[in-house]
Amino acid sequence: MAEYIARWTRWRRIAVDEFLQLWSITAYLYVCFIALIFFKAAILRGHGISFTPWGLAIVKALMLAKFIMIGNAMRVGRGSRSWPMIWLIAYQTIACLVFLFLMNLAEEVIVGMIHGRPAAMSLGELAGPRLAEMMASCFLMLLILVPYFTLRRFDEYLGEGEITRILFLRPSAAPATGPRAGEMPGPGTQR
């Protein structure tokens, strides 16, 4: 019975951690997508076109967050630990971008098949007039992923959960990692 309770507790903790990770990634992506939608809506409104797909942003953020978690579970973009951190971040960001691009292509094909279009037609639509929009979206997604993977790498480097503690706890409650408790090292200060 104790083994069953321990196993249940472990699975429950994993499920809660995964759920919180999913929603934190979704929230980050949603905020980024909302900013982009505001920008696009402002430009289109200047040309007399109404554009406000707010619900689409949360669905897309949730879907991409799940794809990012799948990529993390598959260890997509995990480079050698002997590389400098900047190369690890760049490598993981680009690898995840490629993974998300491929997952997005698969999604477009599936949606096309649901609507009765062959896969070649769905892919052809992406390569046609929407190619410039798709390339711009990839570049914006790259810019969105860089801070995400930078924080992830620093969290791994400092220790799991340290970034959260540093950002969300009062300096007196944070562990003494800097020159003084809760103080970030400044120029010329050694860690």
131-173 residue pLDDT tens: 777 788 889 999 999 999 999 888 888 888 888 888 888 776 5
Q: What share of the chain is helix, strand, coil (3-state, %, to 5)?
A: 75, 0, 25
CA separation for the pair 139, 60 (Å, rounded):
16
Question: Are the C-beta atoms of 30 and 61 separated by less than 8 Å?
Answer: yes
pTM listed for this prediction: 0.75
46-99 residue pLDDT tens: 888 887 777 888 988 999 999 999 988 888 888 777 888 899 999 999 999 999
Cα dihedral 175, 178, 181, 184 sign: negative
Q: What is the pLDDT of residue 150?
A: 93
Q: What is the pLDDT of residue 83?
A: 85
Q: What is the pLDDT of residue 161?
A: 81
Q: What is the pLDDT of residue 177?
A: 55
Q: What is the pLDDT of residue 10?
A: 87
94-132 residue pLDDT tens: 999 999 888 888 888 888 889 888 888 877 766 666 777
CA separation for the pair 147, 151 (Å, rounded):
6
- 């999913």: which residue's tokens? 22
Q: What is the pLDDT of residue 149?
A: 92
Residue 187: pLDDT band (50, 70, 90) is: very low
Q: What is the pLDDT of residue 131?
A: 75
Q: What is the pLDDT of residue 188?
A: 46
- 């490598």: which residue's tokens? 91
Question: Are the C-beta atoms of 44 and 51 separated by less than 8 Å?
Answer: yes
Q: What is the pLDDT of residue 190?
A: 47
CA separation for the pair 186, 23 (Å, rounded):
33
Higher pLDDT, 77 or 1: 77
